[in-house]
Amino acid sequence: MVNSFDVARLAGVSQSTVSRALRGDSKVSERTRTLVADAAKTLGYVPNLAGRALSSGRTNRIGLLVTDLSNEFYHRLIGPVVDRVDEHQHEVVLLADNQSTSDIPNRIISLGLDGVILATTTTDSVIPYKLREKNIPFVYFNRIAPAVPADAAVIDLTDGMQDLVNAIKRNGYKRVGAILGPKNATTGTLRANIFFELLAQNEIFVPFDYRVNGDFSIPAGLEGFQELMSREVPPDVIFCANDVVAMGAINAAHVYDIKVPEDVALVGFDDLPEAKWPIFSLSTVGFDLEKLAAVAVDLLFERIENPEADFKTVELPSYYVTRKSLP
């Protein structure tokens, strides 16, 4: 049976270098890692993950914590995360925090994960506290929780939101409504605050009775749209917390025979592939999801290798896409 010593002989390096190269150690040069990978492929060598875990004290598993596995956004996130983690010779453990149980922090801890990507964090979540208490490395994805500082891969909302506000102003919309996410969701709160602030700079204000909260789901879009359009004077444009919510709102418009954008314009956030579909043709604020996922994974492995390093926040730009729902 081929072992790591055989790979070392063929690559012309030590056995310890083979082990370090195959687990993606950044201290091993790219040239050496390529030599080792080629030698392993030639010999048909596959590392024993269980043995590696015993020798290194690591499980070679990374957790990805999401909120709702039925949400299309998370469907799009999982693939890029798995691909990038695989490049680091690790596996992904998918976890869902649907708030139906308070046991998720203990489940994460019991799995002995090498680190965790938090793609769901509410302002009142205890998860970051628990992970920090147990010295489990973690990184925030597309959100932060200021009470527990950590590495973060986030979006700079300024460009995309400013272009959206410019589009609202250009079209002459004055009555802006909003279907927002949960009040304790850090991501939704940040988006809403920046949106409202940029509108206010243009003397456009969103009254509290033109704001409704829900979760980030299609039913929330359906219900929020119905509630806003039942106002005595309904909004002429509605900002939705994400594309999924906006798709629910567009469905509601069809049900109630309300024309988009003639009667009311709609805009989402995320630029999911479905936003391009003719049935939606959804204007939206977007960002490079695959790149953000790669940044989050790389930040986490940097933290695993250098636990005492200063925390780092990496921002990627946002952009606005004009489609039929808001011309």
CATH number of 61-154+288-316: 3.40.50.2300
Q: How many CB atoms lie within 10 A of CB 119?
A: 25
The region of weakest confidence among 102-106, 198-202, 278-282, 310-314 is: 102-106
Question: What's the pLDDT tens digit per position in 7-62?
Answer: 999 999 998 898 888 877 778 898 999 999 999 989 888 776 555 554 555 788 99
Contact between 117 and 63 under an 8 Å Cβ cutoff? The reply is: yes
What proportion of the chain, given as a percentage, has pLDDT over 90? 69
> Cα–Cα distance between 314 and 202 in angstroms, integer?
29
* Amino acid 54: pLDDT: 46
Q: Where are the alpha helices (DSSP H) in 134-288?
A: 158-170, 186-201, 218-229, 243-255
Residue 317 has pLDDT above 50, yes or no: yes
> Cα–Cα distance between 68 and 145 in angstroms, integer?
19
3-class SS letters over 265-319: EEEEEECCHHHHCCCCCCEEEECCHHHHHHHHHHHHHHHHHCCCCCCCEEEEECE
Same fold, 61-154+288-316 and 158-287: yes
Question: What's the pLDDT tens digit per position in 240-290?
Answer: 999 999 999 999 999 999 999 999 999 999 999 999 999 999 999 999 999
Average pLDDT across the chain, whole number: 91
158-287: CATH superfamily? Response regulator (3.40.50.2300)
Spell out the domain ranges in the chain: 4-47, 61-154+288-316, 158-287
- Residues in contact with 129: Cβ distance below 8 Å, sequence separation at least 6, in sequence order: 147, 148
The CATH architecture that domain 4-47 belongs to is Orthogonal Bundle (1.10)
